[in-house]
Amino acid sequence: MRVAVKAPPAAAVAAISGAVMKLVNRVTTVALGLLLTAGYTHAGVLAEDRADVLYHLYDGGGVTIDGPSVLVRKQVGKNVSLVGNYYVDMVSSASIDVITTASPYTEERTQWSMGMDYLRGNTTMSVAYTSSNESDFDAKTYSFSVSQDMFGDLTTLTLSYALGDDVVGRADDPSFERQNDRQHYGIGLTQIISRNLISSLNFETITDEGFLNNPYRSVRYADAASEVGYSYEPELYPNTRTSNALGVRAKYYLPYRAAIEGEYRYFTDTWEIDGHTAALTYIHPWGPWTFTAKYRYHDQTGASFYSDLFPRSEATNFRGRDKELSPLTSNTFKLGASYEFIGGAEGWRFIKKGTVTASIDFLQVDYHEFSDLSRGALLGDEPLYSLEADVVQIFFSFWY
């Protein structure tokens, strides 16, 4: 008997994506969040009617991000499923970037999404719209995908496209407004290999054009006239970026109803960043409980225009000191548990099933070429920066 392995709901995925967006240069990465949720895509079947209520918390590196999220999905007739999602990120930041060049700040980001799936035979067509707003960044994403079951429903092919329109501003300058246009192309193939083994292969390309750097961030350069030996100037990025990623995932259902999942992803872009990500997950059901343990490893090279300390002012055409563009290695260990408190043949009133899920991620990142200037060390003696953070999710799911 196969175990029904639970993936995080789209509300949870979206909320954690929000936290990541804040930390990595405010680049919106929500594309296809409603269309292609984490896991294996299956055309020919509409998602069940479901509601998720989530609280998420990110705490680490001087940054705290938390807030609620609500997602509701409902079928209309036999061929249409509608979905809506709303969530909030409340941010308090005194990160290493902030305390060395600016003042701590707080702000709020809100996002709402709506989408529709249409099923016709073995084909599922999906459209979605996402809007994200904060004081100095607005993002809109339009997305579309088509999934087709083939060969006796053993193979699923998915094609996807998303168009993003971002507006970057500055909280201290109402006249500052820059555009960023994003396009996201994806193709995925899911294959049921045997009764217990399922695998997927996914390839995606993302193109960005416009203002891609952070309007607040600065780079530092050697300056003998400065008391500390260096000064700051605004960072300057290329106005285009193309990234490609290839991922493979396999899930094997063990004889005692548990499952093990392995995945690998290779990333490369025109900024000369190469990244390798590998993860291993174990899922174990026990009565009404489902326990999850996951380990994730990520390693990447730095961008071609990144430097912790430039030799002089305007030393290169492009320059950046975002720690996420430096060479880095991260390790994440996740523990999660889900409990089914409503179930059985009768359910409870109009609710067929209800679950509560809690998880915590322990994140550790070592930046190989980013100095920790908060230590007050002399130039050349600064220690490298490392980050430790916890990501907590608690959400309730109801099927009706």
Grouping H, G, I as helix, E, B as strand and the rest as coil, residue 295 is strand
Buried b (16+ CB within 10 A) or exposed e, 335-366: ebebebebeeeeeeeeebbbbebebebebebe
pLDDT confidence of residue 346: 72
Buried b (16+ CB within 10 A) or exposed e, 215-244: bbbbbbbeeeeeeeebebeebebbeebebe
Strands (E), 121-256: 123-134, 137-150, 155-170, 173-192, 197-210, 218-222, 230-234, 240-253
Asked if 313 contacts 231 with a C-beta cutoff of 8 angstroms, the reply is yes
What CATH number is attached to the domain comprising 119?
A: 2.40.160
23 or 338: which carries more pLDDT confidence?
A: 338
Number of H helices and number of E strands within the chain?
A: 2, 18
312: in domain:
no
Other CB atoms within a 10 A radius of the CB of residue 70 amount to 16
314: in domain:
no
4: in domain:
no
- Residues 29 and 17: their CA atoms lie apart, in Å, by 7
Q: What single-letter amino acid sits at 288?
A: P
351: in domain:
yes
61: in domain:
yes
pLDDT over 70 for what percent of the chain? 88
pLDDT confidence of residue 95: 79
299 forms beta bridges with 276, 329
Q: Enumerate residues 6+ apart whose C-beta is below 8 A from 394.
A: 54, 55, 356, 357, 358
- Residues 267 and 206: their CA atoms lie apart, in Å, by 11
pLDDT in tens, 79-128: 999 999 999 998 887 778 777 776 677 889 999 999 999 999 999 999 99
In the structure, what pLDDT confidence band is assigned to residue 19 with cuts at 50, 70 and 90?
very low
150: in domain:
yes
pLDDT confidence of residue 96: 80
- Residues 91 and 106: their CA atoms lie apart, in Å, by 5
pLDDT confidence of residue 43: 58
Does residue 294 surpass a pLDDT of 70? yes
22: in domain:
yes
199 or 18: which carries more pLDDT confidence?
A: 199
Asked if 108 contacts 3 with a C-beta cutoff of 8 angstroms, the reply is no
Identify the helix (H) or strand (E) that includes residue 97: helix 96-101
For residue 198, give the nearest of 261, 152, 289, 124 by alpha carbon: 261
Does residue 378 surpass a pLDDT of 50? yes
Quote the domain boundaries for residue 55. 10-216+238-304+322-399
Q: Residue range 263-274: average pLDDT?
A: 98
Identify the helix (H) or strand (E) that includes residue 18: helix 10-23
- Residues 367 and 387: their CA atoms lie apart, in Å, by 8
How many structural domains does the chain have?
1
Does residue 34 surpass a pLDDT of 90? no
pLDDT confidence of residue 156: 96
pTM (2 decimals)? 0.87
State the chain's mean pLDDT as an integer.
88
For residue 396, give the nearest of 326, 333, 321, 342 by alpha carbon: 342
Asked if 197 contacts 284 with a C-beta cutoff of 8 angstroms, the reply is no
Q: What single-letter amino acid sits at 388?
A: E
Q: Residue range 264-288: average pLDDT?
A: 97
Q: Residue range 331-358: average pLDDT?
A: 90
For residue 62, give the nearest of 392, 393, 323, 388 by alpha carbon: 388
1: in domain:
no
pLDDT confidence of residue 102: 65
Please state, in angstroms and as integers, the Cα–Cα distance from residue 117 to each residue in 143, 166, 352, following that order.
12, 25, 22
pLDDT in tens, 182-240: 999 999 999 999 999 999 999 999 999 999 998 989 999 999 999 999 999 999 999 99
